């Protein structure tokens, strides 16, 4: 359903992704872990072409983009409509109220009728537990609440895949749980998800597959039990050990 084949990406001379391939089946949750600078965020950003790789292919359902060819903007936009992105710093639109944030994609991009978009937005807000916050501005919310709005905004375009870029890294510890809970609910409902995170407990509980990246390579991948309980590679062991201290 979602796949990334032989993706390579450079920033200047620095090769941050080296021939990466992953495959996510419908309804599966894949969690990408690894030290900072390992390329995991870049991998995620290549999936909706916020970064454009030099080589390789990304496909979602029946749409494939081959980056060794010239890629057009409409192609990229088409791909983005199938993916919902949740950012580390939420990136909510500060000049719009919560509900306007969520309605923006459906109304402006997908030309959905406003009343209809509003209904969907309200349903999504209730789902992330913020039914009473529709008409406030983002600055009036806590970080955890803002991130839940971020999730609702991404869900509003009815994506086939949800991408999470370290969604809890900017949060105070006591606010992390509420965001992870929303993500767990989504996973249980069968949402296909790619999650970059440092929350190992989330990876253990929710992931169908864990991918460990380092230095632009996928070092190890497998079920959470395989990767966490019985890692095969030294680098994975070192990384997991560091986390325990």
User: Residues 57, 234: contact at Cβ < 8 Å?
Assistant: no
Q: How far is the CB of 241 from another protein (least distance, A)?
A: 33
Dihedral pair phi/psi, residue 222, rounded to 5° = 170, -170
Q: Can you tell me which of 21, 26, 63, 108 binds another protein, judged by CB under 8 A? A: 108
Pick the stretch among 3-11, 14-22, 87-95, 189-197 that binds another protein (CB under 8 A): 87-95
Q: Minimum CB separation from another protein for residue 87, in Å?
A: 6
Pure H helices in the chain: 40-47, 73-80, 98-104, 114-127, 143-156, 173-188, 200-206, 224, 234-244
- Told to check if 179 binds another protein by CB under 8 A, we report no
Among 28, 80, 118, 148, binds another protein (CB under 8 A): 80
Residue 89 near another protein by CB under 8 A: yes
- Exposed, middle or buried, 183 (CB in 10 Å: 0-12/13-18/19+)? buried
CB-based burial label for 108 (10 Å; 0-12, 13-18, 19+): exposed
Q: What is the total count of residues that contact another protein (CB under 8 A)? A: 29
Q: What does the block give as tokens for 77? A: 């936009």
Q: Out of 21, 26, 64, 77, which residue is the one contacting another protein (CB under 8 A)?
A: 77
Find the angle CA(165)-CA(147)-CA(24) to the nearest 5 degrees. 35
The nearest distance, CB 155 to another protein, in angstroms, is 11
Q: Kindly identify the residues of this chain, within the stretch 1-60, that bind another protein according to CB under 8 A.
A: 48, 50
- Binding mask 125-164 vs another protein (x if CB under 8 A, - otherwise)? ------------xxx-------------xx-xx-------
Give the binding range for another protein (CB under 8 A) out of 2-10, 106-114, 123-131, 220-228: 106-114
Residue with tokens 């010239």: 70
SS3 152: helix
- Contacts with another protein, residue ranges (CB under 8 A): 48, 50, 73, 77, 80-81, 83-85, 87, 89, 91-96, 104-105, 108-110, 137-139, 153-154, 156-157
């Amino acid at each position: 359903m979602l796949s990334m084949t032989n993706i390579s990406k450079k920033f200047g001379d620095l090769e941050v992704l080296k021939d990466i391939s992953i495959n996510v089946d419908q309804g599966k949750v894949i969690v990408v872990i690894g030290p900072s600078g390992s390329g995991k965020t870049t991998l995620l950003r290549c999936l909706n072409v916020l970064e454009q790789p030099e080589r390789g292919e990304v496909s979602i359902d029946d749409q494939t983009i081959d980056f060794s060819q010239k890629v057009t903007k409409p192609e990229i936009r088409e791909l983005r409509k199938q993916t919902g992105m949740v950012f580390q710093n939420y990136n909510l639109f500060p000049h719009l109220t919560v509900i306007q944030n969520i309605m923006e994609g459906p109304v402006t991009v997908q030309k959905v009728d406003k009343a209809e978009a509003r209904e969907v937005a309200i349903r999504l807000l209730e789902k992330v537990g913020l039914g009473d916050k529709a008409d406030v501005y983002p600055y009036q919310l806590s970080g955890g609440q803002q991130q839940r709005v971020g999730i609702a905004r991404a869900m509003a375009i009815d994506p086939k895949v949800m991408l999470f870029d370290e969604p809890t890294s900017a949060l105070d510890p006591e606010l992390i749980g509420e965001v992870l809970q929303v993500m767990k609910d989504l996973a249980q409902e069968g949402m296909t998800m790619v999650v970059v995170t440092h929350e190992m407990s989330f990876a253990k509980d929710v992931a169908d597959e864990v991918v460990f990246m380092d230095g632009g390579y996928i070092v190890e991948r497998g079920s959470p039990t395989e990767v966490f309980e019985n890692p095969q590679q030294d680098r994975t062991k070192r990384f997991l050990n560091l986390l325990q201290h």
